Amino acid sequence: MGRRGDGGNFRPIVGIFTKCKIALLWDDRDVDGDDQFTCEHNYIIIQASNKSPILNRLGGKSDLFINSLFPQVNHYIFPYQQAFTKDALIGLAMSAFYVPKEGKAYRQLIKDLTNLHQRYCNAQGLVFLHYKTSVYLAELLLTN
């Protein structure tokens, strides 16, 4: 946090604040729930990503708030579901940097997602991914 001063110098201005309220929202696929579609989708993504370590960050208290500057953190979890057509489901997967974008693994991912969609879609052609939305609320306490 800072501001640009005269002459292009960057000067931090954090010292003028004594309190700052922070909210952090994070969506994780609800792989612990009862929704078989979400669990199978998660498995397909993990396999396609070659078990990318980034997927291990699911759940747990936000690292942002494991710090003495945040003496009290309130954590709330809300269920959420999002509808996807087949093309939107594939688009969601392709938006992740950790899945393949070409080659044999890419073709297998598309095949797996297409088959998954066909097995679970409703009459409108939609499937639903279930999420747990975590909301972290904290107050950053600074001293002058």
Q: How sure is the predictor about 7, in pLDDT bands with cuts at 50, 70 and 90?
A: very low
How far are the Cα atoms of 8, 14, 30, 64, 83 from residue 36, in angstroms, in the given order? 55, 47, 10, 31, 15
pTM exceeds 0.75 for this model: no
Tell me the residue range of the domain where 29 lies: 2-141
Q: What is the pLDDT of residue 2?
A: 40
Residues 53-84 have pLDDT tens digits of 656 655 555 565 666 777 778 889 999 999 99
Question: What whole-number percentage of the chain has pLDDT above 70?
Answer: 72
Report how many domains make up the chain.
1
